[in-house]
């Protein structure tokens, strides 16, 4: 599963049609802006497709890291789910 996600992300990021405004690492480091972009992407998904994909991938990465951290702490509560792609 993890390998498939990495391969998919590599393929998407390997040949962008135009340079994305923000990369995935930027979105991981800026969760408020990531949430704002995800909101924009839900309403206008074609305006900045690569930036929207970067925000979605960063949201998935943050969710995975948060879930793994909770598992390491031994809590039984899962992290909040990522924003679904529409």
Task: Sketch the domain layout of the chain as residue ranges.
Answer: 2-73
- Model pTM above 0.85: no
pLDDT for 34? 92
Question: Residue 79 corresponds to which tokens in the numbers above?
Answer: 């992290």
Long-range contacts of 28-32 (CB under 8 A, 24+ apart): 28/58, 28/61, 28/62, 31/62
Q: What is the dihedral of CA 72, 73, 75, 78, to 10 degrees?
A: -50
User: Is the pLDDT at 73 greater than 80, yes or no?
Assistant: no
CA distances from residue 15 to 67, 83, 84 in whole angstroms, order as listed: 30, 25, 24
- Structure confidence by residue, pLDDT tens digits, 23-45: 889 999 999 999 999 999 988 87
Predicted confidence band of residue 15 (pLDDT cuts 50, 70, 90): very low
Which distant-in-sequence residues (6+ apart) come within 8 Å of 28 by Cβ? 34, 58, 61, 62
Of the pLDDT bands very low, low, confident and very high (cuts 50, 70, 90), residue 17 is very low
Residues 54-68 pLDDT 10s: 999 999 999 888 888
């Amino acid at each position: 599963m993890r390998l498939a996600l990495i391969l998919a992300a590599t393929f998407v990021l390997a040949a962008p049609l135009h340079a994305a405004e923000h990369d995935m690492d930027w979105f991981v480091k800026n969760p408020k802006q990531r949430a704002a972009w995800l909101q924009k992407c839900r309403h206008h998904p074609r305006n900045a497709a690569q930036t929207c994909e970067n925000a979605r991938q960063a949201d998935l990465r943050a969710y995975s890291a948060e879930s793994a951290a909770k598992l390491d702490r031994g809590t039984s509560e899962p992290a909040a789910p990522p924003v679904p792609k529409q």
